[in-house]
Chain A
């Protein structure tokens, strides 16, 4: 049909140039995304693909659930798809191409035969060159075509036509060439609009992550690190792409493992300029460890929950906001009580056993809260005063002298446990070496 004819018949039609490159890219995206559900995908033509799912049905909860999942995944990529499901690949293709009915899901071979018989002949792409000839014969449907003498039909057409017909009806199983996923993963998504909000970037990144997960699934890989590059507009004020590293403490391969942490990271991100493309690269991959599917919670599952939680907290609060005790052997309480940022691998460490760094003291020898830095106390009539209350010494002194090598110099302290009139207890010390012996509050008994 010519352009003018088309516009005369339907003036509301929008005419677009066909972008073959974009079509091929879309098909590639769909293949990568669908690799999450089955490794056996074959490309039928430039805009059709077939998945063999009989091995995936029970894992994904049956044909309906798998249908729904793959439909959602493809719609998430922004593709307009027409899905069909049938016992044979050619049959499913024919069902997808037909426009008679919206019911495109057939599970029984007998039903498929009945449904195919009523379809018009143009539903099988292999028959397209012979369509006019078939019309002339009075063959409108595939059922009428099958009633023709087989030998004569074969002589008048090419052998692949008969093969396609047989493959659709399940008489003949043609050999398939499965798609091989690429060796490395690096994908770039050029957006249609300039993105100004991180929510929009999250949407695009979600599409890339769907494809990444398909790729990881196909190779039985997992990864802990995703590198995003947010490309900005080129031109007079060109600026380098904004990098965004998403590091997880545990190797993952499912979209739900990456997306919450990514959302929190993007929430914190301040975009310097519009984003026109998002690129996702994965440089470290590892073979995955099998997860336990048992019913009752196990220690490994608790650890996984915890590492997920820590990833989320780290993504929103920052690396240095989650601390873990790493005590050091020493006498000065403030240098012993070392808390370090909980690193990427902290959840994998075994819980600390009785630590040789810390001597075991009496239960009430040390306070739970440690003031940092120690608070200088006033004195009244030779007794320390805190918040207007005189402190009565209960126990002590415990002498601690240490740290001549450190920045603070030699510390000579006599520690006491003191109490005020309202029975609140304090851990205070007197600095001995100073010219004037001063009192400091160092801890509270929580």
Chain B
């Protein structure tokens, strides 16, 4: 391939043909690891490998829990196999199982681990990654040091777990070993995703993600009508109760 001392310009234009780990700063890297589609086309097109990398630390910073962060992950979680569970480590509030079953995620085993302090949370994540026992691991560990995050990232590389660390947005300015870092801002119909770090060019614009259509929250007066309409779309066999509990 390199017979002449001068490099072929075509090769320089596509460094990934020399080795898959190489990429130019102006282009998105090819992912070394398998990826899982996020379920949102706009976001997939901006991520290296076209989705969430599996076996790598993903950091998501958000100003406060409850702005649609789990809804953003929901399509990816739904794609995971049900053989292994989903583990939540130290979530900020009790998760609502009814919401998960509405989302169709009730077949996944859900484990809620509440260690009580930061060191135990990180230890629990580390052990879960070493055992490779969960399909997805969502960890809330505010205040963890960059070294601890690097260690988690290295542990994640030995596993095939979707590891997502959710932290307050003040940490988005701090260094972090995660190859993919996102910042979420609430928006009218969902969230705005800012990619703060990725293997590729700087992403300057926000990516709008629609999580709920405007029809879902039409005006108060019309809500009964919309409820009735959409409820008829459900299959009859799975519904035992009326939608409105009286």
Contacts and interface: CB of A to CB of B under 8 A. Distances in A.
Are both chains from one complex?
yes
A316 B123 contact: yes
Interface residues of B, number: 67
Contacts of A325: 97, 100, 110, 112
Interface string B102-113: 110011111111
Q: In this complex, which of A299, A336, A337, A368 has the most chain B Cβ atoms within 10 angstroms of its Cβ?
A: A368
B64 interface: yes
B223 A401 contact: no
Interface of A: 299, 302, 305-306, 308-310, 312-313, 316-317, 321-325, 327, 331, 333, 336-337, 339, 342, 351-356, 358-372, 393-396, 398-402, 417, 419, 422-426, 443-446
A13 B123 CA distance: 50
B111 A324 contact: yes
Contacts of B240: 356, 359
B95 interface: yes
Given A321-B113, A352-B106, A424-B66, A393 B212 contact: no
Given A363-B216, A366-B98, 11 more contacts: A299-B83, A308-B131, A308-B133, A313-B113, A321-B115, A331-B245, A351-B107, A354-B106, A362-B230, A370-B95, A395-B220
A352 B188 CA distance: 34
Nearest to B218: A395
B227 interface: yes
Given A324-B112, A355-B101, A444-B66, A394 B220 contact: yes
Contacts of B111: 310, 322-324, 342
A377 B225 CA distance: 29
B96 A443 contact: yes
A369 B133 contact: no
A317 B66 contact: no
B19 interface: no
B1 interface: no
30 contacts: A299-B83, A302-B84, A302-B133, A305-B132, A306-B85, A308-B133, A312-B127, A316-B120, A317-B120, A317-B124, A321-B113, A322-B113, A324-B109, A324-B110, A327-B98, A339-B112, A351-B109, A359-B241, A359-B245, A360-B101, A361-B243, A365-B243, A370-B96, A393-B220, A395-B216, A399-B246, A419-B217, A423-B187, A425-B66, A445-B67
Interface stretch (B28-36, B68-76, B142-150): B68-76
A368 B134 CA distance: 20
Interface in B111-145: 111-116, 120, 123-124, 127-128, 131-134
A425 B240 CA distance: 28
Main secondary structure of the interface of A (DSSP, over half): mixed
Nearest to A324: B111
B96 A366 contact: yes
A430 to B, nearest CB: 13
Which 6 pairs of residues, A with B, have the shortest CB-CB distance? Answer: A444-B66, A359-B241, A369-B93, A446-B70, A325-B97, A309-B131
Contacts of B243: 359, 361-362, 365
Contacts of A342: 111
A236 to B, nearest CB: 39
B82 interface: yes
A354 B238 contact: yes
A399 B120 contact: no
B234 interface: yes
B115 A365 contact: no
A289 B53 CA distance: 37
Given A305-B133, A312-B127, A367-B99, A317 B116 contact: yes
A20 to B, nearest CB: 46
A358 B97 contact: yes
B82 A351 contact: yes
Nearest to B69: A446
B9 interface: no
A444 B127 contact: no
Interface in B25-72: 64-71
Contacts of A336: 97-98
A401 B131 contact: no
A328 to B, nearest CB: 10
A73 B12 CA distance: 57
B7 interface: no
B43 to A, nearest CB: 18
Nearest to A426: B66
B94 interface: yes
Contact of B67 (A351, A396, A424): A424
